[in-house]
Structures are given as C-alpha cells and as structure tokens.
Chain A
Amino acid sequence: MRPKKAPKIVFKSPDDMPTMICSVGHQTHNLTGAWRNIRPEVDRAKCLKCGMCWKFCPEPAIEVIDEWPVVDYDYCKGCGICAVECPSKCIVMVEERR
C-alpha cells in the first residue's frame, strides 16, 4: 500500500506557498472513506484481474497489488462505480453497519 500519512504541509506565510497550489498533502489527510455507507467487496473467486475497477474508481481508492484489486477503505467513498463497471460482476456493495 502507498504510505498513508504523507506529512501534512502547513505554510506559515503566503510567501512560503507555491504560486500554483500543488502537492500540499491535504488529500491524504482527507479520509473520504468516512462518507461511505455501502462498501465494495471483491470476490476473488470470480475476479478476472482485469483492472477495470482500478481504472474507473474516481477517488482513486483501488490499488492493484500482486495483480489483485485492493480497496483502500480509508478513501473509498462507496460510490459503487467499481461494482457497476466490473465485467464479471464480482464486486458486491455491502451495507456498512456502524
């Protein structure tokens, strides 16, 4: 998995800041997984390892590890796009119970 906690950059003054806002590390600190009320679960028995879910995930919260799609639940917001796009329909959206 990618490192979760990139250091959070906080600039002290406007002069320290880049003109173009880029790479300030906020995205890694914004855990969009907290929005989720349904979670994608991959059934590896049916998975084709095609990577379509990885390609379509808008977050992006799917990583391909050893050819398998792995959902990063810290960031997956539960939109279900991966489940719709999966050609073998092996991603099920399961209700979160918290």
Chain B
Amino acid sequence: MKKVMMGNHALSYGAMLARAQVVSAYPITPQTQVVELLSEMCADGTLEAQFIKVESEHSAMASCIGASVAGARAFTATSSQGLALMHEMLHWAGGGRHPIVMGEVNRAMAPGWSIWTDQNDSLSQRDTGWMQFYCSSNQEVVDTVIQAFKVAETLMIPAMVILDAFALSHTYEVVDVPEQALVDKYLPPFKPAIRLNPADPRAFGGLTGSEHYMELRYKLEKDMEKAPALIEETGREYEKLFGRRLGLIDAYRCDDADFVFVTSGTAGYTARVAVDELRASGVKAGNLRIKVFRPFPYRQVREVLGRVKKAAVLDRNCSYGAGGIFYQEVKSAVYSSPGMPPIFGYIAGLGGRDIMTDSFKEIAAHAASRDRADEEIVWIGVKK
C-alpha cells in the first residue's frame, strides 16, 4: 500500500511493522512526531506495545535496555541533545548487547541553539557499540528499521536508523508500506538465548574483572565485523520479498566514473542530481553514498574508489581538529591499498544550511583544479 508520509512517520511505521513490543521515548524537536504517532498506535491498538513515558532520554534508553533484556523488542527515537543525554546508556546498550533499534534525527548540537540538521550528534556516538544506518529517503527509513531489527537481533548489537532533520524528518514522500504478513515472514519474533527471567534468575552487566572484560569487547568487535556481510545478505532477502535492495553503500553511476562524490544522508540524493547535471556537461561523475557508517564498509568503499581518478568526500559534520569524520574514515579505508585516487575533503551544510546541486558543482570544480589532495579541509558555503 502506498502512503504519503513524513520521514518521522516512516520511523513510526517501521517500528509498527516490526511489531516493537516496548516503545519508550522522550519528545524532542525534530523527532517528536515519531513517538506521537507510536503513542497513538499503542492507544488505539494498532500496535500491541507498552508505551513508556519517561522524564528524560537517559531513562528512555534505560527502560529500552530493561525491556530488551527481558526479551522484548524495544524501539525509541531521539535527536541531538537528547542523544547526548543518552550517551552513558548507549554504552550500556552496546556493551550489554541489547539489540534495541533507535530512530535518530540528525540535528546540530548546541550552542548555538539549533534544531536544524547536521551529523555531529550521531557521529559523536560512533564508539558506543551501535550500528549506524544513514538514510536518504522515507522509503529507506521504513525499510531500514525493519532490516535493522533483524540484523541487531541476530548479532545482539543495537542499531540507529538516522535521518536528516527537516530535509527528511518533516518532508513528505510516497512510501510503499510493506505488507505486514511479509514483514512477519522476514522478521520473526525476538527470542534471545538469554533473558531476564524470574524462573532462572541472573544478574546482568555486573562487575567484570580484568580476566573477562577484554574478551567481552573482543566479542563485540568480532560480531560487529560480521555485520557488513549480514547487512548485505538480509538486504538481498529484503529485495526478494519487497523488491528493494538494502545494502551498505549506494553507488550511483560509479561504474564508469572518473570522479565520485562520497556522501551520506539526504545530501546523497542531491548529489545524484548534481551527478546527472555534471555528466550532461561532460564530467564523468558518480556518487558513492555511504549508508552504513558503523560498521564502516571499508571493502565496498575501496572497491568503488579503486576504479576512479578522484574522489571528494562531503561531510555534514566536523571533528574539530581533524575535519570531516566521513573523510577520515574514507581515507583510512584506502590507506595502504595500491592504486587509490587522491581524496579531497569538504565540509558543508552545518546547522541545516542547505546543500544544493551548486554546492556539489563547486566541490567538483575545486577538486578538478588540483592534482593532489593536501590535508586541507575545504568549507563550502561559508560566508566570505
């Protein structure tokens, strides 16, 4: 069934179709409609779930952890300052191996107080042991929530499904809503091997001495390393049932490209238009949109970049003192592989400043004007 919906509601529909059993969340602009709709669904019986009202995002994540350890499929959503407040609990969910799925609406961190999009909020959480999926359409949001539960529960690793504030969260698009019966076939009920059970009492997350802690973290990393193959496999399975392939990257016109943009989020769709326009003017451009940031798809990125002459990474974020975060990852993906192109780094669109097709043309022109990528980070659209 096709429906016109905003990105936030795409998250709600994803959680509903995945049959989330516990939804615990605290409202924050621009995420509020996600949980508003879910609370209505819980109230009118569309979704058979416990909706827990909490006093903070820290508690929202804490109660999702409790629900998950008791064996329930748990969902929450947040954004920016709310995500930052959750930080401690994100480590608990990642380190404790609780496969919660969370919608995360990218919103710039304050101060200056902002409600508009950029990626510093979610990227600041990259080392918490969560998978991160960056979406660029409402369709992808619905589909990814369903897939994220499957991957998360298989590996016992939580996952964030991330979308840009307003550019996606409040933008209405046509979404082909997956059929419930098919979703049930794709995503069986959550049945963890170990769970909180009064008949078999256990203490979770307790004191762990130096004789075990390191092995726990080793296991988390090793399981995270299984995620890329599993995301691709479950993405192909998804395609068989729903006709849409879900993967780690989305390579647009990259096969014969000389020059590619490396993008994420909604900027990754704007880049496609820029690619078409550049091609019309004779530049063999392509766009490599990175969908999954954790685990980072090193091999897939190398495969695309190994075929091109130049690449330009666009970051809607900044790690102060080190530049764009995707840029760093992309460079480390190709480091020590022979035959890799020069890779240029650009920062644009912070705090919701629009990233337009012209922004991409400016990037393409800049990269075309030099042969070597020095460590210089170029800011696009900063007032001169």
Residues on A lying within 8 angstroms of B by beta carbon are 10-11, 13-14, 17-24, 26-27, 30
B218 touches A26 (CB 8 A): no
Point out the residues of chain A lying under 8 angstroms from B208, CB to CB: 21, 24, 26
A20-B156 contact given A11-B215, A14-B219, A26-B209, CB 8 Å threshold: yes
Point out the residues of chain A lying under 8 angstroms from B202, CB to CB: 22-23
Name A's interface SS: loop
Number of B residues contacting the other chain (C-beta, 8 Å)?
Answer: 23
Query: In whole angstroms, how far apart are the Cα atoms of A13 and B222 in the complex?
Result: 14
Count of A-B residue pairs with CB < 8 Å: 55
Name B's interface SS: loop
- Residue ID in chain B nearest A23 by CB atoms: B202
Q: List 8 A-B contacts (CB under 8 A).
A: A14-B222, A21-B96, A22-B194, A22-B204, A24-B208, A24-B212, A27-B206, A30-B207
- Which residues of B, 92-137, contact A by the 8 Å Cβ criterion? 96-98
Point out the residues of chain A lying under 8 angstroms from B194, CB to CB: 18-20, 22
Residue among B69, B204, B223 with most chain A CB within 10 A: B204
Residues on B lying within 8 angstroms of A by beta carbon are 69, 96-98, 156, 193-194, 202-209, 211-212, 215-216, 218-219, 222-223
B219 touches A17 (CB 8 A): yes
- Residue ID in chain A nearest B157 by CB atoms: A19
Question: Beyond A20-B69, A20-B194: 13 further Cβ-contacts under 8 Å?
Answer: A11-B212, A20-B97, A20-B98, A20-B205, A21-B204, A21-B206, A21-B216, A22-B202, A22-B204, A22-B205, A22-B206, A27-B203, A27-B207
